[in-house]
Amino acid sequence: MSQNLASRPPESPGTSFTGREWGTLLVLCGAIFLEGIDVAMLNIALPSIRADLGLSTGSLQWVMSAYVLGYGGFMLLGGRAADLFGRRQMFVLWLSVFLLFSGLGGLATEGWMLIAARFVTGVAAAFMTPAGLSVITTGFAEGPRRNKALLFYSGTAAGGFSVGLVVGGLLTSVGWRWVFFAPVVLSAVILLAALAVVPESPRPERPERRVDVAGGVAITTAIVLLVLGVERATHAGFAWTALTVGAGLVLLAVFVAVERRAAAPLIRLGLLRCGPLVRANLSGLLFAAGFFGFQFLVVLYLRELRDWSTLQTSFAMLVLGVDAVLSPVLTPRLVGRFGNQRVIFGGLLLAASAYALFLPLGADWTYAMMLPSLIAVGVAFSLAYGPLTIVATEGVAEDEQGVAGALLYTSFQFGAALGLSTVTAVNVAATASGSPPDLLDGYRAALWVPVAAVLLAALISAFGLRTTKGNVPVAAVA
């Protein structure tokens, strides 16, 4: 059994990259940055879109939901496609689709056009993102070199979302369509660079390269239904939500049955019996639930109760982007000294402390009073996100790296939908009316959701602290 490098400090030699490797890494970082700013900018632009296209609240919600369903639902299929048909090929193809449909979204004149464009854009991201991640995990040797690349990559991903909040506000002030046209320009630059520097990915020459159609249909439909049920829980009745989530769970059971019998399964079930991978995915799901739920509540507080403008709110949240600086600078040193598991655990505890500091939220808090929590959240993200990515993909065979990355991103996406839905439900239930005192009560009650989510994530992560000598490689788990 080989030693799991995630449980011990990485070695120092051999961590420098060649020019070609830096070029590849920067292209892939550009793509994940693009995905982050795309989502963040749209969040800021939604009110302007509703006013211009005359959308109802329900239709406006679908502008976001369509992307979430495409992204979360097709992620596992996208990850497997990267393993089967070539990582570079899938990355370039779906980046082109992302570029095209982002532009079509900016040209939409009806709500249904925008919703359809966002769904396809989400599907494109679902194929593009795990392909890009697997280029890193297969192109950089496992250990210190891969860790360095992944931490740099994760910092860029986090920075994209933070920067997107501000850029979205600036572009929306010019015209909301620029929120869709700007990613087209960035996508085109990244696409040209990818064609020049990202190395070819050989397709696996083996009979198992055929696609598990039954498994793909079952898991994609299951995840779409689960994400839809959770994401729409606050906008639909209990019976509809229960039926949707129940159908998703039934299809998950069908998927497991199909995979047990498949000659070339979409996901080898042995992957799901690996302790570090499962812990990383569960912790990532809960961490995303807390992070996005907290961020949503802070934005509501600033916009609804404090009446801050879109641009003021965007600049206030920019401090969360400290993770983009710390992920490639501070986190590698901490991982080198303490190991991934301890850094993850520390990041989760810091996140819980940051959310708890916000619990006594007042109606007249100054920005200086909010700042310690916001900075701590950014630092916590830098400590947890990158190491979770490392642990979730370490020890996985090269021909399963796409699936491993897709599992983690599916967990993040589902966690974000779960966190947003839960904090919204608690906030609505605790708000008796629209008066400022009741709004404040709703925010305070809902803030317990992020606290509970990351504390549970820390508890799950703590089981990994007991492993000091390493774990069985994922490839060895039948």
pLDDT digits over 124-164, tens only?
999 999 999 999 988 888 888 888 888 888 888 877 877 88
Residue 355 lies in a domain: yes
Q: Is the pLDDT of residue 207 over 70?
A: no
Which domain-ending residue is among 169, 199, 229? 199
Which of 324, 334, 342 shows the shortest CA–CA distance to 463?
342
How many independent structural domains does the chain possess? 3
Same domain, 400 and 366: yes
Same domain, 53 and 185: yes
Q: By three-state DSSP, how is residue 349 classified? A: helix
Same domain, 370 and 444: yes
Which domain-ending residue is among 173, 199, 225? 199
Q: How many CB atoms lie within 10 A of CB 109?
A: 8
Q: What is the CATH number of the domain that holds 350?
A: 1.20.1250.20
Same domain, 354 and 425: yes
Which of 465, 234, 184, 169 shows the shortest CA–CA distance to 339?
465
Return the pLDDT at 476: 46
> What are the tokens at 358?
């916000």
Which of 383, 419, 388 shows the shortest CA–CA distance to 283?
388
Mean pLDDT of 335-352: 94
Residue 13 lies in a domain: no
Residue 470 lies in a domain: no
Return the pLDDT at 281: 94
Same domain, 58 and 187: yes
Same domain, 411 and 450: yes
Residue 207 lies in a domain: no
Q: How many CA atoms lie within 13 A of 223 on its CB side?
A: 27
Return the pLDDT at 58: 63
Mean pLDDT of 390-404: 87
> What are the tokens at 174?
């010019």
Residue 175 lies in a domain: yes
Return the pLDDT at 61: 72
Which domain-ending residue is among 199, 228, 250? 199
Percent of the chain with pLDDT over 90: 37
pLDDT digits over 238-261, tens only?
888 899 999 999 999 998 898 888
Same domain, 369 and 456: yes
Return the pLDDT at 432: 65
Q: Is the pLDDT of residue 477 over 60?
A: no
Q: Is the pLDDT of residue 13 over 50?
A: no
The CA distance from 105 to 155, in Å, is 28
pLDDT band for position 3 (cuts 50, 70, 90)? very low
Same domain, 317 and 437: yes
Please report which helix (H) or strand (E) contains residue 315, including its range. Answer: helix 310-317
Residue 474 lies in a domain: no
Tell me which residue range forms the domain holding 132. Answer: 20-199
Return the pLDDT at 74: 87
Q: Could you tell me if 92 and 44 are in contact, meaning their C-beta atoms sit under 8 angstroms apart? A: no
pLDDT band for position 5 (cuts 50, 70, 90)? very low
Same domain, 456 and 332: yes
Residue 312 lies in a domain: yes
Same domain, 235 and 149: no
Q: Is the pLDDT of residue 346 over 90?
A: yes
Mean pLDDT of 103-112: 92
Least confident of 263-272, 334-343, 353-362, 370-379: 263-272
Cβ contacts of residue 238 below 8 Å, gap of 6+? none
pLDDT band for position 282 (cuts 50, 70, 90)? very high
pLDDT digits over 211-239, tens only?
677 888 888 888 888 888 887 777 778 88
Return the pLDDT at 468: 45
Same domain, 342 and 455: yes
pLDDT band for position 308 (cuts 50, 70, 90)? confident
Residue 80 lies in a domain: yes
Same domain, 146 and 224: no
The CA distance from 76 to 73, in Å, is 8
pLDDT band for position 10 (cuts 50, 70, 90)? very low
Mean pLDDT of 43-48: 80
